Amino acid sequence: MIAFLLRRLGVAIPTLIGATVIAFGLIRLVPGDPVLHMIGERGASPEVYAEMRARYGLDRPLTTQYFLFLKNALNGDFGESIVSGQPVWHEFMDRFPATLELGLIALSLAVLIGIPLGVVAAVRRNSLFDYALMSVSLVGYSMPIFWWGLILILFFSVKLGLTPVSGRIDFAYDVPPWSGFLLIDVWKAGEGWPAFKSALVHLVLPAIALGTIPLATVARMTRSSMLEVLGEDYMRTARAKGLSRMRVIFVHGLRNALVPVITVVGLMAGSIVTGAVLTETIFSWPGIGRWLVESVLARDYPVVQSGILLISLAVIVVNLLVDVAYAWANPRLRGRL
């Protein structure tokens, strides 16, 4: 286990360094004076300009600048947004839980629906259900989710009037952040059912949009992994012992078939971020994806630079935790990862 941890860290650390280099290089590769980028177009007094230059060590060699950047980051200093004047770290922490909540719900949808569908398709191989599911999942897999989100809005919000078009909760509710997960915070704030329902209907469409590609992936993976397991000798043995069909499929089959599926789901953090950027833009979801895109469009360089670093860091840490959790739960994986 220790050897596994070290090996896994050996991959995560260079990636982390790579992310810092990319974020560091970003603002310096943009043509023009980095300080002017950081101050923004409205300009600043010569004193502020000089202070900024000193703070980022821009008069010193590039390597010194890089280490200064690392030192600032380690001290939690990620610079300030040009647009809002707020520290980037605060802006990130305000928005990160919203993305996390959306991502977790989307992934849960994908797993809870995708795995049973994949199992049924594998058990009834070449049936009409199997063909239908595989066709639909290929469509889901090819889905431009920025369009899919708009179609969901068009149907459920505009035509049927069932769901709101944007945001996380109705304006009528004032929910102070506690966990950052609105579905939990509404109870803490004592707003009760109506607020919970409001948060839930706001969440449904974005979660479907974000969960579609993972759902298609999980269903297809479960099917192919289950098909492989169904052909194993131990499955025949289990049947021959006289165990019921359901027991064989779910206890003996599914448990083994789930290993590759869970690994893939765990490593979806990166693609969830990519999806979140699009989903949040469509549904005006106040998470880190929309924040990042708006900052790029507003040329808010400090936010883009630190935002990229913080989001990469989050993804790397999640991937690492997922790997470690699996290795702990399933010793067979340790050699493979």
Partner 1 sequence: MSSGGAVESPMTAPSSFGEFWFVFSRNRGAVVGLAIVALFAFLAIAAPWIAPYDPALISDGALLKPPFWSEGGEPGFWLGTDDVGRDLLSRLIYGARVSMAVGFLVVVVSLAVGTLLGLVGGYAGGWIDAVIMRLMDILMSLPSILLAIVVVTVLGQSLVNAILAVSITVIPGFVRLVRAQVLVEKSKPYVIASRTFGAGPMRQIFINILPNCMAPVIVQGTLGFSDGILNVAALGFLGLGAQPPTAEWGTMLSDARSFIESAPWLVTLPGLCILILVLGFNLLGDGLRDALDPRLQK
**Contact set with partner 1 (CB under 8 A):** 11, 14-15, 18-19, 22, 26, 29-30, 138-139, 141-144, 146-148, 150-151, 153-154, 158, 224, 269-271, 273-274, 277-278, 281-282, 292-293, 296-297, 301, 304, 308, 311-312, 315-316, 319
Provide the minimum distance between the beta carbon of 334 and partner 1 in the complex, in angstroms, as a whole number: 19
- Lookup: tokens for 31: 């043509």
Please, what is the minimum distance in Å from the beta carbon of residue 316 to partner 1? Answer: 6
Burial letters 180-197, b for 16+ CB under 10 A, else e: bbbbbbbeebebeeebbe
Which residue, among 106, 276, 282, 105, has the nearest Cα to 181 in the 3D structure? Answer: 105
Least distance in Å: CB of 248 to partner 1? 23
The secondary structure of the chain, three-state, reads CHHHHHHHHHHHHHHHHHHHHHHHHHHHHCCCCHHHHHHCCCCCCHHHHHHHHHHCCCCCCHHHHHHHHHHHHHCCCCCECCCCCCEHHHHHHHHHHHHHHHHHHHHHHHHHHHHHHHHHHHHCCCCHHHHHHHHHHHHHHCCCHHHHHHHHHHHHHHHCCCCCCCCCCCCCCCCCCCCCCHHHHHHHCCCHHHHHHHHHHHHHHHHHHHHHHHHHHHHHHHHHHHHHHHCCHHHHHHHHCCCCHHHHHHHHHHHHHHHHHHHHHHCCHHHHHHHHHHHHHHHCCCCHHHHHHHHHHCCCHHHHHHHHHHHHHHHHHHHHHHHHHHHHHCHHHCCCC
Residue placing its CB nearer to partner 1 in the complex, 204 or 322: 322
* Residue placing its CB nearer to partner 1 in the complex, 43 or 144: 144
- In the complex with partner 1, the residue whose CB is nearer, 72 or 281, is 281
Q: Which is nearer to partner 1, 112 or 158 (CB)?
A: 158
Q: Provide the minimum distance between the beta carbon of 314 and partner 1 in the complex, in angstroms, as a whole number.
A: 10
Where does residue 131 rank: exposed (0-12), middle (13-18), buried (19+ CB within 10 A)? exposed
Which of 158/329 has CB closer to partner 1? Answer: 158
To partner 1, the closest distance from the beta carbon of 130 in angstroms equals 13
Between the alpha carbon of residue 301 and those of residues 84, 166, 220, the distances in Å are: 12, 27, 40
| Shortest distance, position 120 Cβ to partner 1, whole Å | 18
Residue 56 or 301 with smaller CB distance to partner 1: 301
Residue 185: CB minimum distance to partner 1, A = 27
**For partner 1, the closer CB: 198 or 312:** 312
Nearer to partner 1, 89 or 178 (CB): 89
Closer to partner 1 by Cβ: residue 258 or 316: 316
CB of 282 to partner 1, least distance (A): 8
Kindly state the smallest distance separating residue 254's Cβ from partner 1, in Å. Answer: 19
